[in-house]
Amino acid sequence: MAFSIVIRTKFLDELLQQASASGVRQVVLLGAGMDSRAFRMDWPEGTRLFEVDTSAPLDFKASVLRQEGAVAHCERITVPVDLREDWPGALAAAGHDPAAPTVWIAEGLLIYLPEDAVELLLARISALSAVGSWMGLTLGSRGVIERFGADAVPGSAASMWVSEMPDDPVGWLAGHGWDAAGYTLRERAAAYGRPIGTPPQREERPGGLISAVRR
């Protein structure tokens, strides 16, 4: 699992770089947690990065950042709100402009949400996304809950996993107005020169790592 986090991090870093190169200057990290991209990545001038999460992780993170004297490489705006509440309203109040393209990141998030909440989240993202917006998602692959979830590893973070990716994630996103491409962890690992040596235990469907552009 640690290896998968390394691969997905690089995948989403590259997506953010591509979106920035295309001219996008708004970034929204949903369920931002301890994400440090505002500090460790180089951002074009004028970039505004919104970190959306509940107050507890954002407050803890702020204390660590103060202790380390960390300096963001862009305009960083924290938005303390629960994603089950009116986060679009909170994001708007923080200065997000839905008329300008945005790059959205939901990393390690959707697997914790039931399917109806995932649909609502995507609908809200789509409603706030101008043409030319980008999105990066990580989705739980089919069978991952069975292998690593509550029954397999009681008490772990995986015990809170509740949703896996749809059968056709690219088609699913197309229905919401996004041109998407899906990749397996194995594909991206090989592309980054870190191939997974062991053969897959079952057929891998594309879509665990998603990049998408708003039509």
pTM reported for the whole predicted model: 0.87
Predicted local distance difference test score (pLDDT) of residue 3: 86
Q: How confident is the model at residue 49 (pLDDT cuts 50, 70, 90)?
A: very high
Based on its alpha-carbon atoms, the radius of gyration of the chain, rounded to whole angstroms, reads 17
Predicted local distance difference test score (pLDDT) of residue 205: 52
**Which whole number is the average pLDDT over 189-197?**
90
Which residues span the domain enclosing 106? 2-197+205-214
Predicted local distance difference test score (pLDDT) of residue 168: 86
Q: Establish how many alpha carbons lie within 13 A of residue 63's alpha carbon, considering only the half-sphere containing its beta carbon.
A: 5
DSSP designation for 203: P
Q: Please state, for a pLDDT cut of 90, what percent of the chain lies above it.
A: 70
Predicted local distance difference test score (pLDDT) of residue 208: 86
Cα–Cα distances (Å) from 156 to 27, 46, 88, 93, in that order, read 30, 40, 31, 36
CATH number, domain containing residue 153: 3.40.50.150
Predicted local distance difference test score (pLDDT) of residue 152: 47
Q: How confident is the model at residue 105 (pLDDT cuts 50, 70, 90)?
A: very high
Predicted local distance difference test score (pLDDT) of residue 34: 96
Predicted local distance difference test score (pLDDT) of residue 142: 47
Q: Helix, strand, coil proportions of the chain in percent (round to 5)?
A: 40, 20, 45
Cα–Cα distances (Å) from 75 to 5, 43, 114, 156, in that order, read 26, 9, 32, 35
Q: How confident is the model at residue 88 (pLDDT cuts 50, 70, 90)?
A: very high
The total number of structural domains in the chain stands at 1
